[in-house]
């Protein structure tokens, strides 16, 4: 990519402890990494930033041996590094604190910290005094002197758990520590404490890879930064010589999107189909909730970082989770759905984010999945009419250009894109008036993506109201008539179609983050 800049010549002076070059990885038809180069110097804190799906997680998994790369070279201290298990990575001195906790909740803090190498006595019995002493030392080292190592981990708060994870990662002889979104669950104070720990580690010569969405953090503790975009490393720079705006520009890329964004006639939008006032999901920390109006014929995009409450918003509309407070009006009439069934009866459909867990019944036939939400239409007196079911599947399958063998084939035999079309068909079979879509093209190849876009546009033309959550900004920009940006379970801003730009959207999304950035 044109935006990629070679690391400064000065790099050559310091020998990197870890160096990646041209690393590639694909999962089936999806390219996750498409040539990543990256170097880590001893004693530096190196930020890794990028949009969701840019390849950060895949890169970390390769480094810690969970998955293997397809191509490219990785060297550790100038020697080839090729971990096949997490154990290999640990032996090499690379420790990772993952985004999801890997703690054992019912064991004590000490047992968790020393789990990989339990001190033993004769007959394999645990040497508890040594265990507690080691754990104590590890916790003291990161300034957690006030936590009793005998406490079960489940009794700790989230922040402490995170710190226990770090203590555990530091138990081994770690030369490289990878922190994946370590501050996502921490308060400002706890974050500061973590930063102190990172500074101490750095002083000891440990190289730290710091993955974060929070640019202010990147600018406050990191020495260098590498930006990933679409599986490629597009920029590496010293923090001192870059700006948050430059990072955002590189994360987004320049000439995307425009090609797919065919103009839409915006005047067609009609009456308000759905109106929310202060709808609050149980997980929302804020009392005010979300307010919005969705019109017939409109495609309303919802942008925001992962964890900003987008999925939760859709779930509370659909009564997949019951909202804590707030009101919902459907065609101007107040509604309080108690379960998805009522929402469905009221003309709402919900294409969930995770089609395997929530959307599809993989081992069942395509036709059975298509009719799952509209069994009344293909049955009489509780008896299934298989013919009607097959006909409906064939008819919808044609409309959505589904590529399949027979209606009785299991959904699991289809590709990701076609599986997603089946999910769409399931809701279309019900003639919905409103469609909620959560990441409608995740794990879908480019061709199917374009078809799904066309299909969604067509639905809006027909007068359906569409509410689309997506982490891919180009997708939202392509599809939406307007975009609401969420941050921390609130609407942080609205962008009209005329003003669409990724920078603008990200500005809202990072609103809470940028205020403190070095500049």
**Closer to other proteins by Cβ: residue 298 or 451:** 451
Residue 404, interface with other proteins (CB under 8 A)?
Answer: yes
Residue 405, interface with other proteins (CB under 8 A)?
Answer: yes
**Closer to other proteins by Cβ: residue 425 or 484:** 425
Exposure b/e, 61-94, CB count within 10 A at least 16 = b: bbbbbbbebeebebbbeeeebebeebeebbebbb
From 123-131, 272-280, 284-292, 333-341, span contacting other proteins (CB under 8 A): 333-341
User: Cα separations (Å) of 273 from 1, 341, 347?
Assistant: 43, 18, 10
From 49-57, 175-183, 286-294, 414-422, span contacting other proteins (CB under 8 A): 414-422
**Closer to other proteins by Cβ: residue 21 or 415:** 415
Residue 68, interface with other proteins (CB under 8 A)?
Answer: no
Do 88 and 65 form a contact (C-beta atoms < 8 A)? yes
To the nearest whole angstrom, how small is the minimum distance from the Cβ of residue 441 to other proteins? 13
Closest C-alpha among 491, 435, 495, 484 to residue 290: 491
Beta strands in 16-63 (DSSP E): 18-27, 30-40, 45-50
**Closer to other proteins by Cβ: residue 4 or 30:** 30
Residue 340, interface with other proteins (CB under 8 A)?
Answer: yes
Q: Which of 368, 424, 459, 473 binds other proteins (CB under 8 A)?
A: 368
To the nearest whole angstrom, how small is the minimum distance from the Cβ of residue 443 to other proteins? 6
Number of residues counted as binding other proteins (CB under 8 A): 46
Q: Which of 137, 150, 336, 345 binds other proteins (CB under 8 A)?
A: 345
Residue 413, interface with other proteins (CB under 8 A)?
Answer: yes
Q: Which of 358, 391, 450, 504 binds other proteins (CB under 8 A)?
A: 358
Residue 421, interface with other proteins (CB under 8 A)?
Answer: no
Q: Which of 92, 373, 437, 492 binds other proteins (CB under 8 A)?
A: 373
Annotate 459-515 with three-state secondary structure. HHHCCCEEEEECCCHHHHHHHCCEEEEEECCEEEEEEEHHHCCHHHHHHHHCHHHHC
Residue 372, interface with other proteins (CB under 8 A)?
Answer: yes
Do 309 and 486 form a contact (C-beta atoms < 8 A)? yes
Q: Which of 281, 426, 489, 514 binds other proteins (CB under 8 A)?
A: 426
From 23-31, 278-286, 291-299, 505-513, span contacting other proteins (CB under 8 A): 23-31
Helix (H, G, I), strand (E, B) or coil at 401: coil
To the nearest whole angstrom, how small is the minimum distance from the Cβ of residue 226 to other proteins? 24
DSSP string, 66-92: SS--SEEEEEETTEE---SSHHHHHHT
Residue 473, interface with other proteins (CB under 8 A)?
Answer: no
From 182-190, 249-257, 362-370, 475-483, span contacting other proteins (CB under 8 A): 362-370
**Closer to other proteins by Cβ: residue 361 or 455:** 361
Which residues between 142 and 201 bind other proteins (CB under 8 A)? none
Residue 165: both structure tokens together = 């994870």
To the nearest whole angstrom, how small is the minimum distance from the Cβ of residue 416 to other proteins? 5
From 48-56, 145-153, 403-411, 484-492, span contacting other proteins (CB under 8 A): 403-411
Closest C-alpha among 48, 72, 54 to residue 237: 48
To the nearest whole angstrom, how small is the minimum distance from the Cβ of residue 439 to other proteins? 14
**Closer to other proteins by Cβ: residue 416 or 440:** 416
Task: Please give the DSSP secondary-structure letter assigned to residue 246.
Answer: H
Closest C-alpha among 214, 174, 216 to residue 197: 174
Q: Which of 191, 352, 470, 478 binds other proteins (CB under 8 A)?
A: 352
Residue 357, interface with other proteins (CB under 8 A)?
Answer: yes
To the nearest whole angstrom, how small is the minimum distance from the Cβ of residue 267 to other proteins? 34
DSSP string, 223-282: SEEEEEETTEEEEEEEGGG--HHHHHHHHH-SS-SGGG-----GGG--SEEEEEEEEE-T
To the nearest whole angstrom, how small is the minimum distance from the Cβ of residue 370 to other proteins? 11
From 127-135, 228-236, 283-291, 340-348, span contacting other proteins (CB under 8 A): 340-348
φ, ψ (nearest 5 deg) of residue 149: -70, -10
Residue 320, interface with other proteins (CB under 8 A)?
Answer: yes
Beta bridge partners of 387: none
Q: Where are the alpha helices (DSSP H) in 3-98?
A: 56-63, 86-91
∠ CA 418-423-429, rounded to 5°: 115
Say how many residues make up the chain.
519
Q: Which of 339, 458, 501, 503 binds other proteins (CB under 8 A)?
A: 339
As a dihedral over the C-alpha atoms of residue 491, residue 189, residue 200, residue 131, rounded to 10 degrees, the angle is -110
Do 275 and 328 form a contact (C-beta atoms < 8 A)? yes
Residue 73, interface with other proteins (CB under 8 A)?
Answer: no
Q: Which of 83, 244, 416, 432 binds other proteins (CB under 8 A)?
A: 416
Q: How many helices (H) and strands (E) does the chain have?
A: 17, 22
Say if strands 18-27 and 79-80 run parallel, antiparallel, or are unpaired.
Answer: unpaired
Cα 472 to chain centroid distance, Å, stands at 10
* 93 contacts: CB under 8 Å, gap ≥ 6: 172, 173, 174, 175, 176
Which residues sit at the interface with other proteins, rule CB under 8 A?
27-30, 318, 320, 339-341, 343-345, 350, 352, 357-364, 368, 372-373, 375-376, 379, 382-384, 403-406, 408-409, 412-416, 419, 426, 443, 445
């Amino acid at each position: 990519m044109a935006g990629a800049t070679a690391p400064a010549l000065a790099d050559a002076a310091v020998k990197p402890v870890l160096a990646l070059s041209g690393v590639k990885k694909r999962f089936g038809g999806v390219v996750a990494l498409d040539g990543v180069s990256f170097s880590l110097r001893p004693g530096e804190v190196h930020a890794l930033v990028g949009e969701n799906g840019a390849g950060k997680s895949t890169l970390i998994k390769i480094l810690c041996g969970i998955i293997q790369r397809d191509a490219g070279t990785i060297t550790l201290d100038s020697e080839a590094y090729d971990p096949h298990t997490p154990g290999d990575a640990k032996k090499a001195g690379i420790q990772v604190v993952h985004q999801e906790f890997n703690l054992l909740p019912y064991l004590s803090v000490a047992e968790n910290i020393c789990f990989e190498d339990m001190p033993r006595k004769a007959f394999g019995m645990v040497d508890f005094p040594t265990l507690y002493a080691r754990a104590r030392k590890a916790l003291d080292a990161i300034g957690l002197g006030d936590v009793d190592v005998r406490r079960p981990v489940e009794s700790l708060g989230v922040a402490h758990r995170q710190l226990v994870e770090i203590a555990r990662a530091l138990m081994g002889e770690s030369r490289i520590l990878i922190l994946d979104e370590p501050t996502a669950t921490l308060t400002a104070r706890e974050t500061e404490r973590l930063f102190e720990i990172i500074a101490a580690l750095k002083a000891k010569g440990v190289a730290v890879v710091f993955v974060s969405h929070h640019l202010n953090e990147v600018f406050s503790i990191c020495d260098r930064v590498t930006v990933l975009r679409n599986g490629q490393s597009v920029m590496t720079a010293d923090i001192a010589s870059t700006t948050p705006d430059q990072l955002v520009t590189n994360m987004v890329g320049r000439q995307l999107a425009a090609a797919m964004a065919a103009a839409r006639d915006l005047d067609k939008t009609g009456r308000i189909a759905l109106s929310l006032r202060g709808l609050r999901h149980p997980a929302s920390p804020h009392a005010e909730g979300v307010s919005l109006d969705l019109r017939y014929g409109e495609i309303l995009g919802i942008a925001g970082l992962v964890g900003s409450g987008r999925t939760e918003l859709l779930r509370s509309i659909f009564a997949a989770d019951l909202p804590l407070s707030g009101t919902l009006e459907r065609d101007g009439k107040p509604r309080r759905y108690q379960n998805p069934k009522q929402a469905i009866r009221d003309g709402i459909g919900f294409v969930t984010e995770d089609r395997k867990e929530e959307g599809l019944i993989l081992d069942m036939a395509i036709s059975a999945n298509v009719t799952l939400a509209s069994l009344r239409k293909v049955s009489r007196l509780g008896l299934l009419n298989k013919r009607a079911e097959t006909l409906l599947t064939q008819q919808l399958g044609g409309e959505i250009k589904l590529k399949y063998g027979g209606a009785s084939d299991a959904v699991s035999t289809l590709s990701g894109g076609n599986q997603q079309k089946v999910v769409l068909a399931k809701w279309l079979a019900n003639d919905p008036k409103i469609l909620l879509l959560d990441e409608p093209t995740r794990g879908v190849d480019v061709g199917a993506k374009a078809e799904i876009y066309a299909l969604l546009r067509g639905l809006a033309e027909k007068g359906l109201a569409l509410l689309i959550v997506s982490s891919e900004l180009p997708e939202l920009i392509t599809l939406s008539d307007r975009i609401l940006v969420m941050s921390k379970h609130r609407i942080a801003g609205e962008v009209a179609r005329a003003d669409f730009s990724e920078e603008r959207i990200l500005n809202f999304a990072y609103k809470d983050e940028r205020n403190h950035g070095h500049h």
